[in-house]
């Protein structure tokens, strides 16, 4: 079976950032991707809010990320799909490419698979994505200066993003299929009080069409064919852009049911991007997080890679000093308890005096290992192990108890 130190699933901004940081940390990195480097930014027409890049198309930024990662000789492998499995203490990534199946054992895994915006499914939508159809007000609001735009949706995101767009657009039509919005009351009141907002109730977008400007000053390039769901009547609405906010779904299939997730599948992590499963990290839009942007995805990737690097180094060290020897006695303590820290220092001194190599293990920092060995509530302690199996545990309350 193929073995790698760090496997990154997804080559979007989070995955590529993780790859760059991982390679610079000296890790053996493999990136798995099923489409194209850059991920979802490849459908973005213009990017102006990524620091240091004043302007670029999505594909251009994706190519920059690819070249940067290749500078460090990152291996990027195209696959049809990936699935993470746990087999005992081993983390296995099963990939498929055509009829070929491959299994990769990884020391650590970073899930950077992103998310996708739900689409309306109306005629003309797919053809206009990145060309008038947007899923991100923060990304594209600046292109709507003094123009009329439409927002589709009725939840908090649609209402809040619509309100945000009024800072740029001359008018924002808020199209909703029901006769009242589903957003919070405060957000709805704010929208209704905004003179730039015009609610369009009981209406769906039936089709998105190209539109020829009527004169040089007419920047409304799209025509939305609207349908009233109660009367069945259709009408036309010319706008410069239309923003879709009918929901977003995480691409969590590779770890679905394996790691802790919020409703909808958003993966729960801590500040180190660690998931509920040891050695599996998550970064970018697939996480349960406040803001989903290229810059926040890249930040997540960097953090995940450094956390994974630390985890891998610790695991390699723990295996060689603690789990693989035929017989070893280790001192376990908690670094957040001052008295235990003093005892750990005493244990280290006594170990050196007797010429014995004694692993000094911070049970707080290596909490998962401590729990796995059943030592969580037994610190500080001298622990005798054989091939990773605990043979005896001796509680330590003073320096007199430290005998090797």
List the catalytic residues: 136, 139-140
Quote the CA–CA distance of 31 and 14 in Å, as a whole number: 11
CA angle 77, 78, 79 (to 5 degrees): 115
Quote the CA–CA distance of 34 and 98 in Å, as a whole number: 12
Q: Which residue has the tokens 């909703």?
A: 176
CA dist list (Å): 111 to 176, 180, 193, 233: 34, 38, 42, 46
Quote the CA–CA distance of 68 and 64 in Å, as a whole number: 6
Distance, C-alpha 14 to centroid of its chain: 7
Residue 122 near residue 205, CB atoms below 8 Å: yes
Quote the CA–CA distance of 179 and 195 in Å, as a whole number: 19
Quote the CA–CA distance of 192 and 198 in Å, as a whole number: 8
Quote the CA–CA distance of 52 and 32 in Å, as a whole number: 27
Q: Quick one: which of 112, 191, 124 has its CA closest to 153?
A: 191
Quote the CA–CA distance of 18 and 12 in Å, as a whole number: 10
Give me the DSSP letters along 330-389: EEEE-TT-HHHHHHHHHHHHHHHHTT----EEETTTTHHHHHHTT-TTS-SEEEEEETTE
CA dist list (Å): 390 to 88, 174, 315, 330: 18, 64, 17, 10
Tell me how long the chain is. 404
Greatest pairwise CA separation for the chain in angstroms = 92
**What are the residues facing 40 on neighbouring strands?**
none
SS3 57: coil
């Amino acid at each position: 079976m193929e073995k790698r130190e760090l496997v990154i699933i997804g080559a979007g901004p989070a995955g590529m950032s993780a790859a760059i940081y991982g390679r610079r940390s000296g890790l053996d990195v493999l990136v798995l991707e099923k489409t194209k480097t850059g991920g979802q930014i490849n459908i973005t027409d213009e990017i102006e809010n990524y620091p240091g890049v004043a302007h670029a198309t999505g594909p251009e930024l994706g190519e920059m990320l690819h070249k940067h990662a290749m500078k460090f000789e990152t291996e990027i492998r195209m696959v049809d799909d990936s699935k993470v499995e746990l087999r005992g203490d081993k983390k296995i990534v099963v990939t498929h490419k055509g009829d070929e199946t491959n299994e990769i054992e990884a020391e650590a895994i970073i899930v950077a698979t992103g998310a996708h915006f739900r689409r309306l499914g109306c005629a003309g939508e797919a053809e206009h994505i990145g060309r008038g159809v947007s899923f991100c007000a923060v990304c594209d609001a600046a292109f709507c200066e003094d123009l009329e735009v439409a927002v589709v949706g009725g939840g908090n995101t649609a209402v809040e993003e619509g309100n945000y767009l009024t800072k740029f657009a001359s008018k924002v039509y808020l199209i909703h299929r029901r006769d009242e919005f589903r957003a919070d009351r405060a957000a709805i009141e704010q929208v209704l009080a905004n003179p730039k907002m015009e609610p369009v109730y009981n209406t769906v977008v039936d089709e998105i069409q190209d539109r020829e400007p009527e004169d040089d000053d007419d920047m409304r390039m799209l025509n939305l064919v609207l349908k009233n769901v109660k009367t069945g009547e259709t009408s036309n609405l010319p706008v410069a852009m239309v923003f879709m906010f009918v929901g977003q779904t995480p691409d969590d299939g590779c770890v679905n049911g394996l790691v802790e997730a919020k409703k909808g599948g958003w993966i729960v992590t801590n500040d180190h991007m660690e998931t509920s499963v040891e050695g599996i990290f998550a970064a970018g839009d697939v996480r349960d997080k406040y803001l989903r942007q290229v810059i926040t995805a890249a930040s997540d990737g960097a953090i995940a890679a450094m956390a994974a690097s630390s985890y891998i180094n610790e695991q390699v060290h723990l295996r060689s000093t603690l789990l693989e020897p035929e017989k070893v006695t280790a001192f376990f303590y908690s670094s957040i308890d001052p008295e235990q820290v003093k005892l750990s220092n005493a244990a280290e001194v006594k170990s050196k005096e007797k010429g014995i190599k004694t692993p000094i293990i911070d049970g707080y920092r290596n909490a998962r290992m401590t729990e796995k060995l059943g030592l969580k509530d037994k610190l500080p302690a001298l622990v005798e192990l054989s091939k990773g199996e605990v043979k005896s545990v001796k509680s330590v309350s003073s320096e007199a108890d430290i005998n090797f």
